[in-house]
Structures are given as structure tokens and as C-alpha cells.
Amino acid sequence: MEFVTETLGKRIHDPYVEETRCLMIPGPIIVGSGPSGLATAACLKSRDIPSLILERSTCIASLWQHKTYDRLRLHLPKHFCELPLMPFPSSYPTYPTKQQFVQYLESYAEHFDLKPVFNQTVEEAKFDRRCGLWRVRTTGGKKDETMEYVSRWLVVATGENAEEVMPEIDGIPDFGGPILHTSSYKSGEIFSEKKILVVGCGNSGMEVCLDLCNFNALPSLVVRDSVHVLPQEMLGISTFGISTSLLKWFPVQVVDRFLLRMSRLVLGDTDRLGLVRPKLGPLERKIKCGKTPVLDVGTLAKIRSGHIKVYPELKRVMHYSAEFVDGRVDNFDAIILATGYKSNVPMWLKGVNMFSEKDGFPHKPFPNGWKGESGLYAVGFTKLGLLGAAIDAKKIAEDIEVQRHFLPLARPQHC
């Protein structure tokens, strides 16, 4: 077998793959250059372990840069969202803006000299048991060529929000007006004086409704399921910070009771607004079902004042109108789908049982879902946001460092 040294590793002439350039990577391959992928690469670099980051887009953190609305801020205080080894600038506010967070990530990548290979869409990744290595096949680049990257380690960092969830709604083709996912929504400026139906009552749906109000639009919110809405802060302290502190001393059910009582004092009875609370408390529901409570940033006040209407589950869509399960019908100029995102791991990671085919998450929940078999890792699937990604990134780097010392990279025999 002939090896030719290149910048990223070694090029391999592979008789099994026709017209495919093949690079042997001395360190881990990381799929995804969002915060999770960057954090893992930085932790590895701090231990003198090189890595290769593959990114399908043209920039780091493409979700944050291209698929988020303009008014977005971090919903948690910045010290809960910083990546390993580099805090946010002290000049940043408690809740950094989207633009500030992107600047932080770009500075992070520059500080650790992280240089992802962009325009590389992973078509397939699988473990080759003949040589004990991972093969990652991609397409893209200037010539739209096929590449194969080979490594002992593979880190899945595509995260929980890789693809938009587009629900099936009866009558959607008959609507006639604009229908867009929140990934395409930037601001309410173009919807001024228009009646907008927002489908989905998570953090994005709530905040998009508020943004629409600020641009004099007339939003209505579809609340299909029960939902916990908590104040972003209680007594000047972040609700998340209070929760994490109390959980060190009290059972989750006790903390939930405290949060619900405080929320009722601060926000009032949300059931009366059409936002019925689930039977499980907010933290217990997050742990058991992965459902994140909504942190109110001003939307409830607009619902109380009548600027935002609340409707139950959508039954069907008609020509510039919609019917709901309670029989009400209303007219709308546009529909915004705040229906979230999903993992896309099952689409390209083959032959492993670490991830669920149903939802694309590791079968093992946090804190045990970060490590699979044969050098496979997952980062950014904890359902704990940036904090969970930072925790897993550190574990992965530590584990690979141990393996590197005891299992030096072998020259492949059949690749």
C-alpha cells in the first residue's frame, strides 16, 4: 500500500473505493463544528491531541449563524454556557445576544487554532472491523468530490438540532400564504399588521410571538400539549441557577414544588391563559421526558393583555384560515412552525447500536451517553444544552488521551 503525506494526514490508495481520496487522520474525527464539536476539539488540543473537524456548512456554528432569529439571547446566564478552557468576556451581559455568542465561538476557534474542513457533508460513517478503524465518507468541497477519512476515533457532534421538524398538518397545501419554520424566521418586520399563526409553544414559539408583537403583528399561539412556563429569574437570580443549587441538597420533587410555588407568585396561574401545566414537575419532566420548561422573557404579559391569542391543537388548515380542535376558526396571513429540531445521526452513522433509530439520541441518558464502543463518542446529546456539551467534551478528551498512551495508532493493513 502506498502512503503519501498530506496536510491532514496520509492519503491512502484504496482498492475498495473507486475514485475516492482517502486520508488517514492521526487523531479523532469530529463531525460537526457547532459548540459541541469546537469544545471537544479544544479539550483534545489542550492535551496535544490533533483532531479533524468536518462541517457540512460554510462556517462554524451554522445553526446559530444562519437558522436563528435576530432577537435571540442565551436563555441561561453566560457562566452556564461557556465552553471549556475559555470564559465569556467580562464585558458581555449576563444573557449574551446571538451576535455576541457567535463572536465568542469565533474567538474560541481562533484561540485554539481550530480549522474545520467546511462543505463536507458526511454521507456515511462506519467501523471497519478488518482494520479496527472508522471510515467517514463525505461529499462536497470546491469540486464536489468524494472523500474518505479514516481514524481510530469518531466523535459525533452534530447535536440535537441537526434537522428541522416539519409536522404533518391536514390541509397545509391549501393554505395559500407563507409557511416557514423558525429556522427561516429572522424578525417580525415583514409581518407588521399581519395575522400570524405560530405552531408550537416552546421557547422559540413563545419568543417569536413576542418578537411579532414588537413589530405590530397579530400573533396567535397553538398550544398542543401541557407546558411548564417558569420565570427566567426569581428574586434577581436565574431560575436555572437556583434549580442547580437546590438539587445539590434536595430531591427533584421538592425542588419542583418550590419552583412551581415561586412561579405562581411571579407569573400567576398560567392555566387560565391556556397554558396548562403537566402533572410532572418541570425538572422531573425534563429528566424523564426530555421536555424543557419555557423560560418567560415577556410573552406571558402579551398573552394577558390580549396581544397574543392562545389556541388549542390545530385540527386542519384551510385557505388563509385554520380550524382548531375546540371548533374555533380564524383567518391568518402566514404560519410559522416553531416545531423544533431533531438529530440526524441515524441517517449517516451505520452499523452501531449506540444511538436510537427513533430519535437519534444515545440509548444511555446523561451522564452515561458520551461513550460507545470501538472509539465512538457523542457530544451535545445530553438535553442539558451547552453545559452538558462542555461536560462531555472534557470526558471525551480525557478518555482518548488514555487510549492514545496505551494504544498507539496502528498502521492499517486492509484499508
pLDDT in tens, 154-190: 999 999 999 999 999 999 999 999 999 999 999 999 9
Which parts of the chain sit beneath pLDDT 70?
Answer: 1-19, 407-415
Tell me if 412 is assigned to some domain: no
Query: Do 324 and 400 lie in a common domain?
Result: no
Do the beta carbons of residue 61 and residue 36 sit within 8 Å? Answer: no
Tell me if 126 is assigned to some domain: yes
Tell me if 140 is assigned to some domain: yes
Report the distance separating Cα 370 and Cα 355, nearest Å: 11
Among the candidates 340, 364, 390, a domain finishes at: 340
Query: Do 138 and 202 lie in a common domain?
Result: no
CA atoms within 13 A on the CB side of 278: 22
Residue 3 DSSP class? E
Among the candidates 340, 356, 391, a domain finishes at: 340
Strands in 101-224 per DSSP E: 120-128, 133-140, 145-151, 154-156, 163-164, 179-181, 195-199, 218-222
Do the beta carbons of residue 23 and residue 148 sit within 8 Å? Answer: yes
Tell me if 3 is assigned to some domain: no
Query: Do 248 and 285 lie in a common domain?
Result: yes
Tell me if 375 is assigned to some domain: yes
User: The domain containing residue 25 runs over which residues?
Assistant: 21-162+343-406
Model pTM score? 0.90
Query: Do 389 and 317 lie in a common domain?
Result: no
- Residue-wise pLDDT tens digits, 121-163: 999 999 999 989 999 999 987 777 899 999 999 999 999 999 9
Query: Do 307 and 284 lie in a common domain?
Result: yes
Question: Based on the structure, what is the number of domains in the chain?
Answer: 2
Query: Do 46 and 137 lie in a common domain?
Result: yes
Tell me if 413 is assigned to some domain: no
- Residue-wise pLDDT tens digits, 190-220: 999 999 999 999 999 999 999 999 999 999 9
Torsion over CA: 223, 165, 196, 282 (sign): positive
Query: Do 279 and 300 lie in a common domain?
Result: yes
- Of all residues in the chain, the percent with pLDDT exceeding 70 is 93
Report the distance separating Cα 232 and Cα 74, nearest Å: 11
Query: Do 321 and 399 lie in a common domain?
Result: no
Query: Do 100 and 241 lie in a common domain?
Result: no
Tell me if 373 is assigned to some domain: yes
